[in-house]
Structure 1
Amino acid sequence: MKKSSFFIALVLTLSSFSNSSSLVHAADGIVDEGYIPPDLPLQGQVNIKFRDSSTQSLDAGAPYLAWKGNSAGWEGSEGTLLCSSTSDSKCKQDSGTFEFFTRLSVCSSADSLDCLEGISAKKAGVEIKGQFIEVFPKKINTTYASKSSERLPEASSGGLWKFIGLEHKGGSDYFVDAGLRGSRTVKQEQFTNTAFALSIIAASKAPLGVHRSGSDPNSPIDDGSASVLQKFDEKTKRPFLGAVGVYPPYEGETLDCVMSGDALCATRHAIPADVEFTATVRLSSSPSGWMHGRLDNPTITIESISPKPAVRLSITGTTTRVPVIGISQTWQSLSKNLKDIYLKGGFPGTTYGCRWCSEDPLKNTLVGSPPPSGVSSIQELKAWLPAVNDKASANINTWSIRTLSKSEMNGADACFAKSNQINGVLMTNATTYSAGPPAFKSGTLTYQVAAPHLMSDGSVMRGQYNLVIRSEVARCIYGFSSAPVNAEVSVVNSNGEAQVATVIVGEKSGWLYLKANNFEFSAPIIKVKLSQEVDPLATPSASTKPVAKAVTITCIKGKTSKKVTAVKPKCPAGYKKK
């Protein structure tokens, strides 16, 4: 199988096919080490993979700078140009937007920005300081000229770090994948960071197999390099971007590359259990919105540093096992429900591929990787659970966090959407989960998660849910005063019955922490209701004001409508009050 090449408008995502390999079990019987989802290249086969991407969803494995805008020469449609700098003559337009993506390397000085300040680990109470080893890969096929005055960071790869005393089967090296995206209009002078993602992955370098980058036997050997390519529509000449991603698992290989290049693969290993990592980054500006994490017991610290609006962001949390499902079944073995859905194009939101493409499902090979979030992904997972006996294929020990995308934030409460700051963080070990922050309805924050009932070793899967929300944001939603906030957290199963869960609530340093643990899957709904007691005998003063009542309004934009609830609700930009 050849390395995937694919095309995009601006946002780049990795899409590669995985193939079956022998499963290696951890000492406790949980499948993790060396797991690669099966993907049999046979006609009449259906291959579906429920797993977070092995690389960040922000990119295709390589940094880039691009301009996006309109031109009459492209029949009025938007186009995207790959730029070598913001002063690149072909990108020097009167309108439009610049966007960059890069990975962060270690800070070179005390005043460096958009860099990793440090990473430490704690295992069994012993702290281990991470030691930066090198940038990986060293060769970068797509690059651009950085410009600190514009807050345009250096084009860089990720990095390998060593944690002596935190050994895995491949040694003590870890690949730190810290991706940063930012944008500015051509009229603005500086970039603003818009998205951030960070993963810490146990890895070791291994030589790549000898595979050609194309079907032609004389095509170059695939050295694992990722790159962003300039493409043009044959008819309209409209420019767009294409990409070659990270080296995928070819047939018969056991490499699971979390990054590749220099003819090497940083292949994934299982992280030791119960490790707490702390990662600190310095950013020239704070990402906006919400973040989603694959870690437990989180602590978030954000402080302003010089020059404004720079911030130091520190994230602490414990690794968590995320259940993944790899499916490879014949079309004939599928349930009638699944056949009917896939014959009609599949589940919305999932991009499907094919090999030996045919309208005849007995000749076609259907391949799909549902995104981890969204109602449709939850439905697709639930539809498959009976076929896999409600059991995970593997439980990958994970430490990662990322900002939610614009599409995931669509429809979020206006209080959640305050710009230029992180408003909250959601952490769950569920395979799939609701897109965006919790939905606010009838005074309750609700969030759905879904995962197999059983872990890969046959034991019952125990759910984890952490909601970390800025106190000011919580008070905005409910119209609370600065008095202490009480919270009630409940977990309701698909039958509407309340589950027993361990619940912890607390408020610290401007953040409200809510946690529900030890509930069971397959698709429970987590509900959070905040309240605030008011002393009826208390005399209002400048520091103690009566609790204002929240009001709900309806905002419309064309045929789209949104409800906004707050003390002084305002419609989002572009919307009008109904």
Structure 2
Amino acid sequence: MNQRFTKFASPLISLVLLFSVAAFAPPARAADSFVYTDFAANDFGLWSQSSIYGQDQKGSKKLEDWKQLWCSGWDDPSCSVYDNLFADLILSPCVNEADRACLDGIEAKNASGALEKLTLYGEATSQKIARYQFKSGTNLVDVPAGGGLSIWKSSEKNADGTDRLYAAHILLRYIATSSRQSGEAADKIVLSDFKGQIYPVRLKSGAACTEFAIGTQCVDSANFDGSEKLAVTLRMNKDLTGWIFGRMQNSEFAVTSLDASYNKIRIGGDVTFVPELSAKVAKSEISKDAKLEKYLRDFFTVGRVGVSVPNPGSGSFNDGGVGGNTSTTYAGFLEAQTTTRLFSVNFEKFALFSAFEDHFKPYSPAASNNGRNILRQTNSIFWNFGANTYLGTNKCSADKTKLHGMVVTNAPIFENGPPEFKDGSLNYRVAGIHKNGDGSVFKGRYTYIVQSDTARCYYGFSKAPIEARVEVVSASNSSQVATVLVSEKDGFIKLQADNFTFSTPTIKVKFTQDSAQPTATTPKAASKKSSTLTCIKGKTSKKITGVNPKCPAGYKKK
């Protein structure tokens, strides 16, 4: 992932995710000696309940010395001593117009092709986190309550006559840092980012639910058929700024102010197919792929690139703990007779993809549920989104006063955030395999919606109309032919590129404006004031008005 952005899963959160996934790892077998990685488009993940968790590092830099914390609420005494706390709070549905930090509504396309507002069916029976005022430095921060996943009902039925239902998982993440960890005078908390997904579900009776429950009913995931269009409206704190990214197509995005502290955000679009990728290579075969061998040798010798503590082998996991939970040398990695997993959430994804590129195949991840995290098994059709904080230096993208825009794509690997402004164009990298599992060519789709003011800021343009050109450049630096749409409406510019191919193309957008138009920085000519002069000739008097009036010949100034 481009290091200009915070990863949605921070290094500490990655540790939690790693342990969560590891709980489902199959036992090692003597002849099972592989290296494995995957890119699951479902890596946005689902929390089955609102949670507060973190670490008490106990003054040690060694992960094995840390104490993992799970908190029932902000006042839980078992979490009173911490270095970092992460609050993943699921937004509950809004009940009245005064509610804030809540899910305002869900819409779904009906049989006539229009978006229909869905009716709230219910909220999951799960752990709730009470609203809390956190003393952050010298300020009090209102942290919203955490609820459960909600279910929404359409007026239309499924083909088999059952209710058409959708689950909504909209999650805010707050990060609290203790003063002992930060070295500052007081503890602090920030709204880090958020993520969400909508997906179809079915209800059934049962005491043991595989995903989650509403009252006495179990909720199970279902698949999209690929024709759906959805929209979600949220009431969100204005502290959430930056960029939204996600999995959908033909997207819509709007932000309106509710009051001094909250925005109403609407995100809409069609569902999209995203080929999920996995690669499994026998350790005895690694030496036959020079690119993969170098990547793995560097990783197990030096460690991960772009992290504060590289730690050779950190971020990998050996099934069954064979050879240790993590191999720390390249020789030890090869000798461990087990599958060594490299979880992509812990790595710079473009480098990881490049290393395993020749070995990837489409797959569908198995479903899992460890009581806190749910992974759905799907047909790889999704509708989800997320946002995280921009850490770059570009003043236009780093403006913390607003949400700048949205970037969505069906590419398996993409940059989490806005395009990079470089050499006069906005560049955005994606990656994926060239062909689908059935042998057909996979066609990429990309939508970029940006506030008009932000786009103009990059170039110093005026409010006059601007034009955009979209170009898709392949890894070999050759241009591709793609279908391109550009429009501007309600303060947002929308650019869409469809039908490009992979493996690692860069989408380049360049804005232009008629040079005859004044730019935003062009100073206006100083306006000159008129004055009136009285001129006399004998008993005759005349008044002369102008910017620089002068008396006619034979007259003199009175």
TM-score by length of 1: 0.68
Which residue of the other structure, out of 146, 158, 161, is the alignment partner of 1:155? 146
Partner of 2:4: none
Cα distance, 1:393 vs structure 2: 3.0
Deviations 1:304-355 (A, max 9, x none): 113x211111111111111101334433344433344334436847822111
**Cα distance in 1, alignment partners of residues 275 and 440 from structure 2:** 12
Does the aligned pair in 2 maintain the 1:485–1:531 contact within 8 Å? yes
Which residue of the other structure, out of 157, 160, 174, is the alignment partner of 2:166? 174
Q: Which structure 1 residue ranges, 5 or more long, are not aligned?
A: 1-5, 21-37, 210-222, 225-254, 549-578
Partner of 2:196: 198
Partner of 1:402: 386
Does the aligned pair in 1 maintain the 2:41–2:380 contact within 8 Å? no
Provide the secondary structure at the position in 2 that maps to 1:461.
Answer: coil
Q: Which structure 2 residue ranges, 5 or more long, are not aligned?
A: 1-8, 135-139, 179-184, 306-313, 324-331, 365-378, 525-558
Cα distance, 1:19 vs structure 2: 12
Distance 1:423 1:532, change over 3 A: same
Cα distance, 1:277 vs structure 2: 0.5
**Cα distance in 2, alignment partners of residues 352 and 342 from structure 1:** 11
Provide the secondary structure at the position in 2 that maps to 1:151.
Answer: strand
Does the aligned pair in 1 maintain the 2:295–2:355 contact within 8 Å? no
* Aligned 1:342-491 pairs, distance under 5 A: 342-345=296-299, 348=304, 351-356=315-320, 357-358=322-323, 359=332, 360-361=334-335, 363-371=337-345, 376-388=348-360, 392-393=362-363, 396-404=380-388, 406=389, 409-411=390-392, 413-491=394-472
Distance 1:355 1:66, change over 3 A: closer
Cα distance, 1:163 vs structure 2: 3.0
Distance 1:18 1:267, change over 3 A: farther
Deviations 1:204-258 (A, max 9, x none): 357999xxxxxxxxxxxxx78xxxxxxxxxxxxxxxxxxxxxxxxxxxxxx7x5x
Provide the secondary structure at the position in 2 that maps to 1:468.
Answer: strand
Letter in 2 for 1:181: R
**Cα distance in 2, alignment partners of residues 482 and 511 from structure 1:** 13
Distance 1:96 1:504, change over 3 A: same
Provide the secondary structure at the position in 2 that maps to 1:14.
Answer: helix
Partner of 2:476: 495
Letter in 2 for 1:176: A
Letter in 2 for 1:14: L
Deviations 1:249-287 (A, max 9, x none): xxxxxx7x5x68999975433212121111111124351
Letter in 1 for 2:386: R
**1:14 matched to 2:1:** no
**Cα distance in 1, alignment partners of residues 497 and 192 from structure 2:** 29
| Stretch of structure 1 that moved more, 142-151 or 422-431 | 142-151
Cα distance, 1:504 vs structure 2: 1.1
Which residue of the other structure, out of 27, 41, 44, is the alignment partner of 2:33? 44
**Cα distance in 1, alignment partners of residues 381 and 122 from structure 2:** 24
* Aligned 1:11-410 pairs, distance under 5 A: 14-15=17-18, 16-17=20-21, 42=29, 43-56=32-45, 61-65=48-52, 74=59, 100-123=87-110, 125-136=113-124, 138-140=125-127, 143-146=129-132, 150-165=141-156, 167=158, 172-182=164-174, 193-204=191-202, 266-306=219-259, 308-334=260-286, 335-337=288-290, 338-345=292-299, 348=304, 351-356=315-320, 357-358=322-323, 359=332, 360-361=334-335, 363-371=337-345, 376-388=348-360, 392-393=362-363, 396-404=380-388, 406=389, 409-410=390-391
Distance 1:144 1:76, change over 3 A: farther
Cα distance, 1:88 vs structure 2: 6.8
Provide the secondary structure at the position in 1 that maps to 2:104.
Answer: strand
Cα distance, 1:118 vs structure 2: 0.9
**Cα distance in 2, alignment partners of residues 68 and 48 from structure 1:** 27
Does the aligned pair in 1 maintain the 2:49–2:149 contact within 8 Å? no
Letter in 1 for 2:123: V
**Cα distance in 2, alignment partners of residues 203 and 532 from structure 1:** 48
Does the aligned pair in 1 maintain the 2:109–2:115 contact within 8 Å? yes
Partner of 2:182: none
**Cα distance in 2, alignment partners of residues 181 and 418 from structure 1:** 20
**Cα distance in 1, alignment partners of residues 10 and 253 from structure 2:** 36
Partner of 2:376: none
Does the aligned pair in 1 maintain the 2:227–2:271 contact within 8 Å? yes
**Cα distance in 2, alignment partners of residues 284 and 432 from structure 1:** 29
Letter in 1 for 2:97: A
Cα distance, 1:525 vs structure 2: 0.9
Does the aligned pair in 1 maintain the 2:249–2:271 contact within 8 Å? yes
Distance 1:399 1:13, change over 3 A: farther
Percent same amino acid among aligned pairs?
24
TM-score by length of 2: 0.70
Cα distance, 1:518 vs structure 2: 0.7
Cα distance, 1:471 vs structure 2: 1.3
| Stretch of structure 1 that moved more, 414-423 or 520-529 | 414-423
Letter in 2 for 1:342: L
Cα distance, 1:420 vs structure 2: 3.9
Provide the secondary structure at the position in 2 that maps to 1:165.
Answer: strand
Does the aligned pair in 1 maintain the 2:123–2:214 contact within 8 Å? no
| Stretch of structure 1 that moved more, 521-530 or 119-128 | 119-128
The structure in which a higher percent of residues are helix is 2
Provide the secondary structure at the position in 1 that maps to 2:522.
Answer: coil
Cα distance, 1:100 vs structure 2: 3.3
**Cα distance in 2, alignment partners of residues 65 and 46 from structure 1:** 33
Distance 1:80 1:54, change over 3 A: closer
Letter in 2 for 1:45: F
Does the aligned pair in 1 maintain the 2:435–2:442 contact within 8 Å? yes
**Cα distance in 1, alignment partners of residues 357 and 515 from structure 2:** 47
Partner of 2:522: 546
Provide the secondary structure at the position in 1 that maps to 2:296.
Answer: helix
Distance 1:207 1:355, change over 3 A: farther
Does the aligned pair in 2 maintain the 1:481–1:547 contact within 8 Å? no
**Cα distance in 2, alignment partners of residues 164 and 434 from structure 1:** 37
Deviations 1:119-172 (A, max 9, x none): 111155144432322222x131x7445469953222212112233536389963
**Cα distance in 2, alignment partners of residues 488 and 304 from structure 1:** 31
Provide the secondary structure at the position in 1 that maps to 2:480.
Answer: coil
RMSD: 4.3
Does the aligned pair in 2 maintain the 1:286–1:422 contact within 8 Å? no
Does the aligned pair in 1 maintain the 2:158–2:164 contact within 8 Å? yes
Distance 1:331 1:428, change over 3 A: same
Distance 1:311 1:9, change over 3 A: same
